[in-house]
Amino acid sequence: MRDAVGNINSVLVLGGASEIATETVKLLASRRCRRVVLAVRDTAKVADLLDEHRALGMEATAVTFDAADTHSHQKVIDGVFADGDIDVVISAFGVLGNQDLFDDDPAAAADAAVVNFAGQVSALTAVAAAMKRQGHGDIVVLSSVAGERVRKDNAVYGATKAGLDGYAQGLGDRLAGTGVRVMIVRPGFVHTRMTEGLDPAPLSTTPDKVAADIVSGLDKGAAVVWSPAPLRYLFTVLRHLPRPVWRIVSNR
């Protein structure tokens, strides 16, 4: 559980190699978080990252987690919670993909949808049940402004984020009064390995800045965090543009 002054003691990261999640864990470590579990497809690939977390004074371990294997999620997550309470779960996994390739490969498009949406629904449902049993916790869901109004250039990715965002909102409502909260994070374009080579959008940001917004949101008990904050007002307008206008604007 959180300590006497409200500091987070333990965190589970689904998609443990996420750059945003990594920066968030570093910030939490600076505030006396002492346990982190990285759930990843290949634990060997995060050996150096585990060492980095340990150098910050954390007990850092990794477990095997395949986002596409939805039937395994409950067992993996229940196993982590069996080793001790988890204060915060950061759900940070997902694939961006290439829309042009998806147009020519429906199976690849479906695979991305399984990871980004079905995998998230499965994992978050298991996390919610585990947190309800322990009676407390925060679930941080990394959504995206891409789901606020889906662009033609990332139709599959944007649609999965729209679905994830909607599910996270509903899950938060279902958990009201249980001691478990859901916080949805809607970053804009983030400079990461996943977006390397892409043209940055206006109000682009970096993993460390998104991490700072996440920790601030947790402190405030926020339900939704926009990163950076002005995106909230921008998308209030973009969400309601007539479709012909949106097609022109989103093509720039």
- For residue 2, tell me if it sits in a domain: no
Q: How far is CA 153 from CA 48, 51, 96, 98, 238, in A?
A: 35, 38, 11, 8, 16
pTM: 0.93
Catalytic residue among 157, 167, 189, 226: 157
Residue 173 domain-assigned (yes or no): yes
Specify if 109 maps to a domain: yes
The closest alpha carbon to 71, from 129, 114, 134, belongs to 114
Structurally, the chain folds into a number of domains equal to: 1
Per the annotation, the verdict on 157 as an active-site residue is: yes
> What digits encode the pLDDT tens for the residues 73-82?
999 999 999 9
Q: For residue 60, what are the CA distances in angstroms to 28, 83, 175, 223?
A: 13, 13, 28, 28
CATH number for the domain harbouring residue 143: 3.40.50.720
- pLDDT at res. 2: 67
Q: Is residue 65 part of a domain?
A: yes
Residue 247: per-residue pLDDT: 87
Burial 36-49 (b: 16+ CB within 10 A, else e): bbbbbbebeebeeb
pLDDT recorded at residue 192: 76
Within a domain: 81:
yes
Residue stretches of the chain with pLDDT short of 50? none
Structure tokens at 158: 């944007």
Place of tokens 């990794």: 62
Residue 10, beta-bridge partner list = 35
Kindly state whether residue 222 falls inside one of the protein's structural domains. yes
Per-residue model confidence as pLDDT tens digits over 142-180: 999 999 999 999 999 999 999 999 999 999 999 999 999
Q: Which long-range contacts (CB under 8 A, 24 or more apart) does 143-150 make?
A: 143/168, 143/184, 143/185, 143/186, 144/186, 144/187, 145/186, 145/187, 145/188, 145/226, 145/231, 145/235, 147/186, 148/186, 148/235, 148/238, 148/239, 149/235, 149/238, 149/239, 149/241, 149/246, 149/250
Q: Which two tokens stand for residue 65?
A: 């987690």
In a domain, 179, yes or no: yes
Q: For the purposes of burial, counting CB atoms within 10 Å of the CB of 117, is it exposed (0-12), middle (13-18) or buried (19 or more)? A: buried
88 forms bridges with which residues in the sheet?
A: 11, 138
Residue 159 belongs to domain spanning: 10-249
For residue 238, tell me if it sits in a domain: yes
Which pLDDT value is given to residue 210? 95
